[in-house]
Structure 1
């Protein structure tokens, strides 16, 4: 769901805050229900869509196993969670993405016993992203993904077919640039932040290998893939300096570009602005050795190891995010364009049965890739994104820059694995 801050960027704590009542009091909303004596504190970040806050309070109020107090957290939610996990028993339940350091420091509780037969129904890549050392620490709540939106009318007028390779995307970016319209918008940084992963995947590579024991781009094809972003940046068809960045559809809905890489969560706004003149694509393959892809991410429900009610907190997480399938469908689809975290639930969502929704369900099933793996460190990410920025924006040597980032990532993974 579209958030008031990045949904995948969990920041380094900027300052130490005192835990406890000062944190617990911020933005508190109460959903009380049930006959149990236990009171659980559940935290959410401040979602941007109308209706989400009322919905999660309603879910909490319907729980019969105890009282659940829902706290809505505008502002820097990430830092609040980091602080709370270090020293506070509140929240009992919270949403986040699993971090390796939290597991190593025993700040979160394994949830392996909650899924039961439902495990096979969850999107495997999502569960993998919330798993460390064979244990599951988060139950995915919904899927956010990003796709390439395009205007079919403009492609048809230019006699261009939707691109199926990265080279075709470069050529389409050039050819669609005319009459005051740019070919592509992928963020004001030239696509560095959002296309770094898709470029790796287009070459059949990844940040890490399948079992997180080695860096996944120790291959000359990585430099070749990043070099393609340089081609896009020097094509003359890439929009830069937009008043809004990639996560907002403004450049696309204002008809300043023919194509935009952005979040599926923007689909309602795009449909309102452009009607049926909308197409969607995954990021294309570089060649036959790669494959089309879309990044997937999800906030997951997690349990604070410092909670005084760990078993009760786990029971509530199971009730809401495993058992209450109708609430899960509503949470994912009623307040914007998102996908349920469970494969079978897409069939229960009318919005996902045809058109763009159905296409994106297939994109995720066929080529969904985790945008932020638990074993991929912030330092590794910074090193690689800085390298890709120098390649794309400054024309630096792709092989040399990729090698520098590779050495940082190798050292970081060795440190993490002890």
Structure 2
């Protein structure tokens, strides 16, 4: 969800999760997602170092970690669960369907009170299913609008504040020969995130106040009608159809200097800086001014009950969520910390100043409805179909109606 999808491939999943050897040693199996973009900063290195540190002070407990790319990790865990051999812990993109089946330990089962109390409150709440926290937030980010300062300067443009500003700037950039005036990644990799950011900026969102899906609300229809007619239809989103453009490709194009504007999360800063691209960041434009609500995103740690070892899992996770370890991970991968103690440090630290725009957005951000067990199905449907809402011969209303029908059926089946 948050990280740039890694091209790193790992070996097949090992069996024997949560094994206890004859000596009484407990081996905890952890499957985790890769937030790195090369072998040099693979998350495997982070976890291996953390595991060795923990093991050195906890005789009799071993931590066995396999790291997979974001393209593979959720399906790897799903296959393990379906085979009746889940890992003890999984750091993945969604947790609620496992929780609904009674497969997970709750936070109360595992964590010390200080660790639980340290989670950023809105992230902890997003980890709840029917009022019980099963999803432990592991990494967070918000979204802001990135723009290429060099392209804007040469075109005599200021950063946009409204949709009309954004469209006008895109027109000027297109006339100047910019390949992607605004990159609109509605391809299957992470279309649900780009979609939500636009829906929020138009005063809508995925759900209504009571929690029911409202994908085809008038606000959402108006947003996608504007996107189709005023941005995509005028050729302002580049040579690749939005429904075929993935987030990773859009980010790479921005780092190559080929994109004028796009929605981005913190990892894009490092990508752009490494390529020498000068960029600015502003809140997402809205219909009448800067959007008052940003999209928040969290990835999750989940602990499976199958093999037992709640005490050992909880003690290791207390270590994982220690302030120093949360800071180290967040700084390594340009992500927002999920604990209040680490957030307070980053908010005041000069070395973390670049993350301030994202930290500022977090208190006014809204997360997808990850606590609903239907969300995994609804999100997958959005990824596959939302690009059609801005296609030349399609109707935004029709596409959103279809998505709403599927979402309502999935919600009723919860």
> For the superposition of Structure 1 and Structure 2, which TM-score range results when normalised by the shorter chain?
0.7 to 0.9
Matching residue of 2:391: 393
CA 1:89 to 1:25, structure 2 compared with 1: closer, same or farther past 3 Å?
A: closer
CA contact (8 A) 2:142 2:265 kept: yes
Matching residue of 1:154: 151
Write out per-residue CA displacement over residues 297-337 of structure 1, whole angstroms, 9 at most, x where no aligned residue.
Answer: 22x2221110231232122212322xx21011101112x32
Matching residue of 1:11: none
2:81 aligned to which of 57, 78, 85: 85
The equivalences for 1:90-101 within 5 A come to 90-101=86-97
Write out per-residue CA displacement over residues 247-290 of structure 1, whole angstroms, 9 at most, x where no aligned residue.
Answer: 25321222222223334213112112235x21113322234796
CA contact (8 A) 1:202 1:291 kept: yes
CA 1:406 to 1:237, structure 2 compared with 1: closer, same or farther past 3 Å?
A: same
2:101 aligned to which of 102, 105, 124: 105
User: SS of the residue aligned with 2:104?
Assistant: coil
Write out per-residue CA displacement over residues 125-165 of structure 1, whole angstroms, 9 at most, x where no aligned residue.
Answer: 32233210111112222224443211234334434332222
With normalisation by structure 2, the TM-score equals: 0.81
CA contact (8 A) 2:77 2:86 kept: no
The equivalences for 1:19-418 within 5 A come to 23-24=13-14, 37-49=25-37, 50-51=40-41, 52-63=43-54, 64-65=57-58, 66-74=60-68, 76-88=72-84, 90-112=86-108, 114=111, 116-119=113-116, 121-182=118-179, 183-187=181-185, 189=187, 193-209=192-208, 212=211, 214-217=212-215, 219-230=217-228, 231-241=230-240, 245-248=246-249, 249-274=251-276, 277-287=278-288, 291-298=292-299, 300-321=300-321, 324-334=322-332, 336-349=333-346, 350=349, 353-354=352-353, 356-370=354-368, 372=370, 374-384=372-382, 388-416=386-414
**Which whole-Å CA distance do the structure 2 matches of 1:371 and 1:145 have between them?**
15
Q: CA deviation at 1:362?
A: 1.0
Write out per-residue CA displacement over residues 10-58 of structure 1, whole angstroms, 9 at most, x where no aligned residue.
Answer: xxxxxxxxxxxx73259x9xxxxxx984332222234434343222122
**Which whole-Å CA distance do the structure 1 matches of 2:351 and 2:210 have between them?**
32
Provide the aligned C-alpha RMSD in A. 3.3
**Which whole-Å CA distance do the structure 1 matches of 2:44 and 2:77 have between them?**
18
**Which whole-Å CA distance do the structure 1 matches of 2:388 and 2:78 have between them?**
31
**Which whole-Å CA distance do the structure 1 matches of 2:82 and 2:33 have between them?**
18
Matching residue of 1:15: none
User: SS of the residue aligned with 2:108?
Assistant: coil
CA 1:291 to 1:36, structure 2 compared with 1: closer, same or farther past 3 Å?
A: farther
Q: CA deviation at 1:220?
A: 1.1
Write out per-residue CA displacement over residues 48-93 of structure 1, whole angstroms, 9 at most, x where no aligned residue.
Answer: 3434322212222222344222222436322221122234455212
CA contact (8 A) 2:294 2:366 kept: yes
Unaligned runs of 5+ in 2: 18-22
Q: CA deviation at 1:109?
A: 1.2
User: SS of the residue aligned with 1:81?
Assistant: helix
Matching residue of 2:20: none
CA contact (8 A) 2:201 2:292 kept: yes
CA contact (8 A) 1:198 1:295 kept: no
**Which whole-Å CA distance do the structure 2 matches of 1:23 and 1:254 have between them?**
35
**Which whole-Å CA distance do the structure 2 matches of 1:126 and 1:216 have between them?**
22
CA 1:3 to 1:89, structure 2 compared with 1: closer, same or farther past 3 Å?
A: same
**Which whole-Å CA distance do the structure 1 matches of 2:378 and 2:227 have between them?**
20
CA contact (8 A) 1:187 1:240 kept: no
**Which whole-Å CA distance do the structure 2 matches of 1:203 and 1:244 have between them?**
22
